[in-house]
Structure formats: C-alpha cells, structure tokens
Amino acid sequence: MTRKTVALSLDKKIYEEYKRFCQENSIILSRKVETFMKNELEQNNKGGNNHGK
C-alpha cells in the first residue's frame, strides 16, 4: 500500500488532547485517522453511494 502525506487544519486544543490520548494508549494517530476515514467510506457505501466507483 502506498502512503500519502497530507496536511490538515485542526483545532489546536483538540489536536493536542487527542495526540496525548494516542500517546498514552500506544495508538498511532495517523492510523486512527485512516481507520476513521475507511469506516466512513464503508458506511457511506452501504447506502448505495459509491463516489467514484
């Protein structure tokens, strides 16, 4: 799988709190975001909407 580096604009306080949460729980932040995105796409596709497919 090819990886892509991206830049996001996030609320600083939320980002810092979530980053700390991930560090305390041995979670890789980028993988957590990737999993969220994948789940959103799967949920969306269950409704029959295949954006780009």
Chain segment 10-50, per-residue pLDDT in tens? 999 999 999 999 999 999 999 999 999 999 999 998 755 55
Residue 52 has pLDDT above 70, yes or no: no
17 secondary structure, DSSP code:
H
> In angstroms, what CA-CA distances link 21 with 28, 29, 40, 42, 50?
10, 9, 22, 25, 33
Residue 2 has pLDDT above 80, yes or no: yes
Cα(33)–Cα(39) distance, integer angstroms: 10
Nearest Cα neighbor of 15 from 7, 42, 5, 38 is 7
Q: Indicate the pTM of the whole model.
A: 0.70
**Torsion of Cα atoms, 44 then 49 then 52 then 53, to 10°:** 100
